[in-house]
Amino acid sequence: MEPWRKAPAVFVANLLPPAAWLGVFFVLPLSLLWLYSFGDKVGITGIDINWTLANYARAADPLYLGILIKSVWIAGAATLTCLMIGLPVALAISFAPRHVQPWLLLLIILPFWTNLLIRTYALIAVLRTNGHVNYVLEWLWSAGDGLLNLIGLGGYQILGTGFTPWSLLYNDAAVVTGLVYVHLPFMVLPLYAALYRLDRSLIEASLDLGAGHLRTFFYVIAPLVLPGIASGVIITFIPALGAYLTPDLLGGTDSQMIANVIERQFKAANDWPFGSALSFLLMYITFFGLAVRSLLAGRRGGGVSA
Amino acid sequence: MASQISQDTIIRIEGVSKKFGRLQAVDNVSMEIKRGEFFALVGPSGCGKTTLLRLLAGFETPDAGRILIEGRDMTGVTANHRPVNMLFQSYAIFPHMNVETNVSYGLKIARRPRDEIMARTEEALGLVKLSGYEKSHPDELSGGQRQRVALARALVMRPAVLLLDEPLSALDAKLREAMQLEMVHLQKTVGITFLIVTHDQSEALSMAGRIAVMHQGSVRQIAPPGELYEAPNCRFVADFIGKINLFEGTARPADQPGRVRVHTEKLGILELQGDAEGSVTLAVRPEKIIISHEPGGLEGQISLHGTVMDIAYFGGHSKLFIDIGAGQPLMAEITNSNRNGGPRVAPGDRVRCGWRAVDTLLLTE
Ligand SMILES: Nc1ncnc2c1ncn2[C@@H]1O[C@H](COP(=O)(O)OP(=O)(O)O)[C@@H](O)[C@H]1O
Ligand SMILES: [Mg+2]
């Protein structure tokens, strides 16, 4: 065991580059930000680190607390929607013929090959007032209206006098939609990994003992892939909570999330200490989520983890 | 439909076939299994036994033919609605439930009353000698115990037929022998029809009342163990069940009706009971061969001379491998019935091997 004890030079030589990389680009900037979060702004660029907790106290201000809570809420809604879509998708993939599965997984990952910004603009083209969803809705409306005229109910204006496009953009729903669209693969992949490892004969045993597919899902599949579900939820929730581009482009004035506020502190407001404090608060929430996840994973040893 | 089938037929398989891609896993199989029978399905690995069992359980759908269980056509009936239960090769114990919850799972699904669930679970655990293990977790149990849990979980459902897929293959030799006996007793006690799949012919012979031998997806012979052993209907069954010596030959009808003259290279020309023409195989079981040191033959006996090459000692009996010229050595079995008799034969001995003509099997397929 412990071969590094026998060849410490090789071990150090191998470890040094990544350690240096992590140190310079991760630990160092993060430490700086951590220090800033305990400082005061002096002039335009100066920061006086005097171990004040004022920045953290300011985060508790109803304005920022409200945005933080709303961010959690939006990220939570997006995560839940991802789970509801992702679970059937992962189930379908894991029960597809073995040789088809890699192709289906590729379809899930495919959007990652396109830049997030482009994907988000594409979504705008789909959702905007003159977008594809509204085109379809308008077509459905005229078809329905034509049908009503045909059966002689045209005079009653049951569908209104004309088609009003739905406003699908620049609100919370648009942000949730965008987050679901972007983060769905994060949910599907761990779920699929857990389902893939699930012993098929357990499912067959449940069917054999008289349970239908629904009860087999709730009594056998779900409990056994619970660690996979937990992984998917955390892995989806964390980036969704820190989402910046999606709420910025798809959200309205009141649907900004915490990352947008942080961005404003570093840029427009030029308040690095407060921005740093908010960043660290966000990170602590993330750590809390991860801690809950590993606690769950540690407690139930029997399941299939992802 | 049901009236055509005799009352004691519990499973009727009619011309069932199943293909996986180009592979014909089950090929036009027909058979009937009787109520209360201990029926075994044997055959070499990959011959389609598991597939046939899965077709019965409803995990696969036949490409052709149909299956009737208790007179009901199972076409379109899903696994959860079939009156059979399966003992999986991997046991498939639910790892997130304790022994009791595992065993009572099916009854809870069937929404039986609480009292009944408790009583039947307790009874099933008693049957498999696991009383007291109710609260144990599956990963605290040994392989044998896990198998008992799986057995109880299936038996508690009181299925029309219990399907067992290689139930003993994961156990060590000693435990397997004990379990074989126990399974036979258990089957007698509960009176449920058992359909067991095994690749081990000796296991099938010792446990089952009737056996179907499968080869490359089709059933070659269905018979009780004794008949299968003493009167196999083809070369494959003769070779697969037990040990046997085979001799290739050609047959011609003899002058007497109902008899044939068979010419083989090693045995010369023999006249046997039977009816065949063309290429045939003669077969004789090792224990039918009598070994002696005296030369010459006896009336009504087939005789060969050879040199003992190897002796494999098995305690109660020994197997001799005798060189009789070309090809495979002749296999013979002698009983070690006398403790102080010393070895009757030794390697290198010149011996006469004889057996009665009536013990010679004439195989045409
Ligand atoms: N789901 C499947 N897909 C493709 N081939 C299969 C499948 N199940 C079994 N087979 C093939 O069918 C043949 C019979 O298999 P099986 O019934 O498991 O044999 P046995 O149980 O007698 O060993 C084997 O060649 C096996 O590889
Ligand atoms: Mg098998």
Domain shared by A134 and A252, yes or no:
no
Sorting pLDDT into bands at 50, 70 and 90, what band is B327? confident
**Quick check: B124 and B99 in contact, CB under 8 A?**
no
Q: Two tokens at B98?
A: 């304790």
Query: Tell me, what's the ipTM?
Result: 0.85
Residue A290 included in any domain? yes
Mean pLDDT of B216-225: 94
Mean pLDDT of A34-59: 88
Over residues A225-280, the pLDDT tens digits come to 998 999 899 999 999 999 999 999 998 888 889 999 999 999 888 889 999 999 99
pLDDT of residue B314: 87
B114-127 vs B143-155: helix crossing angle, rounded to 10? 140
Sorting pLDDT into bands at 50, 70 and 90, what band is A302? very low
The residue out of A106, A138, A166 marking a domain boundary is A166
Cα-to-centroid distance, B103 and ligand 1 (Å): 29
Name the residue among B80, B89, B90 with its Cβ closest to that of A210.
B80
Neighbours of ion ligand 2 (CB under 5 A): B 50
Secondary structure percentages of chain A, helix, strand, coil, to 5: 75, 5, 25
| 3-state SS class at B163 | strand
Q: What is the CATH number of the domain that holds A258?
A: 1.10.3720.10
Name the residue among A201, A207, A303 with its Cβ closest to that of B80.
A207
Domain shared by A154 and A182, yes or no:
no
Name the residue among B81, B96, B139 with its Cβ closest to that of A303.
B96
Of all residues in chain B, the percent with pLDDT exceeding 70 is: 95
B20 close to A (CB below 8 A): no
Domain shared by A243 and A95, yes or no:
yes
> What type of residue is A87?
L
pTM to 2 decimal places: 0.81
Domain shared by A159 and A269, yes or no:
no
Domain shared by A156 and A267, yes or no:
no
Domains of chain B: residue spans and CATH:
9-230 (3.40.50.300), 242-283 (no CATH), 286-357 (2.40.50.100)
Domain shared by A227 and A156, yes or no:
no
Domain shared by A146 and A79, yes or no:
no
Domain shared by A269 and A284, yes or no:
yes
Any residues with CB less than 8 A from the CB of B105 and at least 6 apart, and which? A206, A209, A211, A219, B94, B97, B153
A97 close to B (CB below 8 A): no
Q: Which of B80, B82, B147 to mutate to test the interface with A (most CBs of A within 10 A)?
A: B80
Distance in Å, alpha carbon of A294 to nearest chain B alpha carbon: 19
Residue A25 included in any domain? no
Residue A120 included in any domain? no
Q: How far, in Å, CA of A172 to CA of A197, rounded?
A: 37
DSSP A110: G
pLDDT of residue B145: 92
Residue A73 included in any domain? yes
**Quick check: B161 and B195 in contact, CB under 8 A?**
yes
Any residues with CB less than 8 A from the CB of B332 and at least 6 apart, and which? B286, B287, B289, B291, B319, B320, B322, B353
Other beta carbons within 10 angstroms of residue B341's beta carbon come to 8
Residue range of the domain that includes A133 = 129-166
Q: How far, in Å, CA of B115 to CA of B133, rounded?
A: 19
**pLDDT at A103 exceeding the cut of 80:** yes
Of all residues in chain B, the percent with pLDDT exceeding 90 is: 62
Identify the weakest region by mean pLDDT among A23-32, A117-126, A144-153, B1-10: B1-10
Host H or E run for residue A31 = helix A28-36
Q: How far, in Å, CA of B37 to CA of A303, rounded?
A: 39
Distance in Å, alpha carbon of B92 to nearest chain A alpha carbon: 5
pLDDT of residue A3: 66
Sorting pLDDT into bands at 50, 70 and 90, what band is B3? very low
**pLDDT at A303 exceeding the cut of 60:** no
Please report the beta strands in chain B, taking only residues with DSSP state E, as ranges in sequence order: 9-20, 23-34, 38-42, 64-69, 72-73, 84-87, 161-165, 193-198, 210-215, 218-223, 245-253, 259-264, 268-273, 278-284, 290-292, 301-313, 317-323, 330-335, 350-356, 361-363
Domain shared by A227 and A254, yes or no:
yes
Domain shared by A110 and A259, yes or no:
yes
Residue A31 included in any domain? no
pLDDT of residue B270: 83
**pLDDT at B1 exceeding the cut of 60:** no
The residue out of A137, A166, A195 marking a domain boundary is A166
Which stretches of chain B are DSSP H helices? Answer: 49-57, 99-109, 114-127, 143-155, 173-190, 201-207, 225-230, 235-240
Q: Which of A98, A198, A208 to mutate to test the interface with B (most CBs of B within 10 A)?
A: A208
Of A41, A211, A108, nearest to B153 (Cα)? Answer: A211
Domain shared by A246 and A292, yes or no:
yes
Intra-chain end-to-end CA distance of chain A, in Å: 28
pLDDT of residue A32: 92
Which atom, in ligand 1's list, is nearest to the CA of B44? 22
Over residues A139-197, the pLDDT tens digits come to 998 888 888 888 887 777 777 777 888 888 898 999 999 999 999 999 999 999 999 99
**pLDDT at B296 exceeding the cut of 70:** no
Mean pLDDT of A5-19: 85
**Does the beta-carbon distance from A205 to B79 stay under 8 Å?**
no
Domain shared by A179 and A195, yes or no:
yes
pLDDT of residue B325: 81
Residue A52 included in any domain? no
Q: How far, in Å, CA of A297 to CA of A57, rounded?
A: 34
B17 lines ligand 1 (CB under 6 A): no
How many structural domains are present in chain A? 2
